[in-house]
Amino acid sequence: MKLAIYPGSFDPVTMGHIDVLKRGLKIFDKIIVAVGEHYAKNYLFSKDERVAMIGEAVKGMPVEVRHFSGMLIDLASKEKANAILRGLRAVSDFDSEFQMAITNRKFSPEIETVFIMTRGMYSYLSSSVVKEVASLGGKLEGMVPPNVEKLLRKKFS
């Protein structure tokens, strides 16, 4: 079975994330969405809320959603993943993603990093943009799954 790990903070998950995930499932039999935390980030949603919102958004897909801490490459090795799946929105994303892929390869050369370019319709979309739009009461249709829109409206009401 071809297994990939799709890591991120997903605060919140966007339709861009879901698009990368669906397209990744054309390559992999199963994907583990690994919801991580970065010490320098302030999150709108708790790790449990993020895991639950993604879980609801991917119902019916061969996807497992879980929280993780520590080094991503350790999780990928433990799960015997074939690859780490990463989405790229713009050229500016590539530098840091490339650096991380090379670092991961140093620790586990058997695990590949697969980059999927976002579709043009999602190239502007980020969790930060979504939170800003939601905080200002803007329309979120097409930006996030419906369950996520409801949670954002609740957070900002």
Residue 41 is a catalytic residue: yes
Q: Which of 26, 41, 59, 106 is catalytic?
A: 41
Q: Which of 47, 50, 86, 127 is catalytic?
A: 127
Q: Which of 17, 47, 50, 86 is catalytic?
A: 17
Q: Report the alpha-carbon distance of residue 125 to residue 81 in Å, rounded.
A: 28
Residue 17 is a catalytic residue: yes
Q: Which of 47, 50, 86, 89 is catalytic?
A: 89
CA distances from 19 to 14, 71, 114, 139, 143 (A): 9, 25, 15, 19, 11
Catalytic positions, please? 17, 41, 89, 127
